[in-house]
């Protein structure tokens, strides 16, 4: 598979693992998840009920991370539409129709793209009950970066869930 095609697919899969958060950050710092200002993530809020009907888990494995995304059956169509929209943005980047620098990305999508460019192995499995993304590497430094990415996702999810309970 061409590297550009793989990068496009990776961005699609990464964005599906995101949550809704518009938390403001220090001046100049990009929010980790930003559904309002990220050209990929905005597709996840087109159906205002989609995100609350999805769940994500990020688990460290020996050589990387496994991310599990579960969508309630009645929101599967909205989930697939969101993926299609994100894939469209990725395809425009891949073909040069849109410059990478013109695409707004949250910290999550930026970091995911960085991991892709580092050569992280990505395997995405679409299942009936859940989607699984394996992010792995044989390089110990790259594995460290993958795990830092997953930990940041876990931390941001925990913050979001804590804020929702208040």
- The tens digit of pLDDT for each residue in 13-41 reads 444 333 333 344 444 568 998 988 999 99
Domain that holds residue 130: 3-165
pLDDT number for residue 28: 58
Q: Give the integer Cα–Cα distance in Å for 81 and 77.
A: 6
Helix 3-15 vs helix 76-95: crossing angle, to nearest 10 = 150
Among residues 134, 121, 113, 139, the alpha carbon closest in space to that of 65 is found at: 134
pLDDT at 156 over 50: yes
**What kind and span of H or E run contains 58?**
strand 54-61
Say what percent of the chain tops pLDDT 90. Answer: 63
Domain count, the chain: 1
Helix 107-117 vs helix 140-165: crossing angle, to nearest 10 = 160
What would the pLDDT profile of 127-152 be if each residue is shown by its tens digit?
A: 988 999 999 999 999 999 999 999 99
Among residues 37, 6, 10, the alpha carbon closest in space to that of 146 is found at: 10
Q: Give the integer Cα–Cα distance in Å for 5 and 29.
A: 29
pLDDT number for residue 165: 77
pTM of the model: 0.79
């Amino acid at each position: 598979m061409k590297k550009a095609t793989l990068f496009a697919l990776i961005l699609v899969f990464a964005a599906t693992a995101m949550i809704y958060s518009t938390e403001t950050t220090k001046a100049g710092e990009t929010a980790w998840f930003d559904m309002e200002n990220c050209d990929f993530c905005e597709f996840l809020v087109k159906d205002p009920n989609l995100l609350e009907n999805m769940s994500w888990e990020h688990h460290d494995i020996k050589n990387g991370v496994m991310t599990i995304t579960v969508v309630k059956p009645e929101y599967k169509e909205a989930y697939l539409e969101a993926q299609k929209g994100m894939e469209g943005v990725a395809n425009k980047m891949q073909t040069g129709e849109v410059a990478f620098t013109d695409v707004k990305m949250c910290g999550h999508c930026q970091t995911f793209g960085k991991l892709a460019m580092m050569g992280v192995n990505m395997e995405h499995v679409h299942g009936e009950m859940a989607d699984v993304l394996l992010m792995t590497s044989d390089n110990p430094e790259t594995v460290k970066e993958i795990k830092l990415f997953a930990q940041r996702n876990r931390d941001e999810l925990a913050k979001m869930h804590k804020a929702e309970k208040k």
